[in-house]
Amino acid sequence: MPQTLIIGIFVLGAVMLLLALVSGGFKIFGSELPGVAGRSGRIIAFAIGVVLVGFSLFHFRDEPPAPAKDSDHGSPPVLEAAKAQAANPGATQPAEDRPAPKPPPAQETLNDPAAVRVFGREGMDFGVPPRNTVEENVGTLTPLTIPGARTLSTGELVSALRNDRRLLLVDVLDAPHPGLPGARRYPGVGMPVPTTDLAELLEKDTGGNKAYPLVFYCQGPQCWESYNAALRARDAGYTNVYWYRGGLEAWAMASLPGS
């Protein structure tokens, strides 16, 4: 109900009460108003006045409050959400408020274009295509690349060792011989029929970390044993496998110290 109408009803009810309280005429704001002389008339006027005043007061009480300003609502919704999240860190944030997930770290690589340096025959292309299976004639010329692994030059291997890069350097040759500094000996793992369980040795030395950098080497570019071992490591699920094609031959031509 409009507020002006309620005020009018209230005023009318007040006038009726005023008329009921006087028995003769009276002046208000310069106007002569007649009184209610009879007792019954005063009672009726009083009753009407009470009803009208009560009606208007009742509707005054039920009048809806004025819309609150923004400041009446406390903190903005975004701030409230932030406070709620701080109070309950385990609560799930809305998708639009969640920070973007961090990208996974790039797999470390031992290849370094700035450190590439080859010695002897390790960079020669003999026209042998790379193959995806173990080579049985291990004493023949090798390809330049290997599927599922990366070729490492002498310069790159030296740089990684000098910079204390983490890697597992694996010598796969069987016969006793001077090897590379810090190399682990896995004799026979590169033969057509391996005499040692490569997967078991790698599990022990890497702690089961399939991304651990592995570097395999043997005699040189005319030796498939390290190539075969690298393929077997790849097939065992290792994802960071390197083949040092130059092997002992390139290492000696670079006049690097052995073990």
Report the percent of the chain where pLDDT is more than 70: 67
Check whether residue 243 and residue 119 sit in a common domain.
yes
Check whether residue 121 and residue 41 sit in a common domain.
no
Contacts of 95 (CB under 8 A, 6+ apart): none
**pLDDT tens profile 241-251:** 999 999 999 99
User: Does residue 208 have a pLDDT over 80?
Assistant: yes
Q: What integer pLDDT is reported at residue 235 of this predicted model? A: 97
In a domain, 90, yes or no: no
Q: What integer pLDDT is reported at residue 7 of this predicted model? A: 76
Q: What integer pLDDT is reported at residue 44 of this predicted model? A: 77
pLDDT tier at 254, thresholds 50, 70, 90:
very high
Q: What integer pLDDT is reported at residue 8 of this predicted model? A: 74
User: Does residue 229 have a pLDDT over 70?
Assistant: yes
Q: How buried is 187 (Cβ within 10 angstroms: 0-12 exposed, 13-18 middle, 19+ buried)?
A: middle
Q: What integer pLDDT is reported at residue 180 of this predicted model? A: 96
On whether the CB atoms of residues 196 and 186 are closer than 8 A, the answer is yes
In a domain, 77, yes or no: no
User: Does residue 71 have a pLDDT over 50?
Assistant: no
**pLDDT tens profile 97-127:** 556 555 545 568 999 999 999 999 999 999 9
CATH number for 136? 3.40.250.10
In a domain, 162, yes or no: yes
Check whether residue 19 and residue 132 sit in a common domain.
no
Q: What domain count does the chain have? A: 2
Position with higher pLDDT, 58 vs 210: 210
Domain that holds residue 23: 3-62
In a domain, 70, yes or no: no
pLDDT tier at 70, thresholds 50, 70, 90:
very low
Check whether residue 131 and residue 53 sit in a common domain.
no
Cα angle value 171/173/179 (rounded, 5°): 50
Check whether residue 155 and residue 33 sit in a common domain.
no
Q: What integer pLDDT is reported at residue 4 of this predicted model? A: 75
In a domain, 78, yes or no: no
Check whether residue 229 and residue 161 sit in a common domain.
yes
In a domain, 200, yes or no: yes
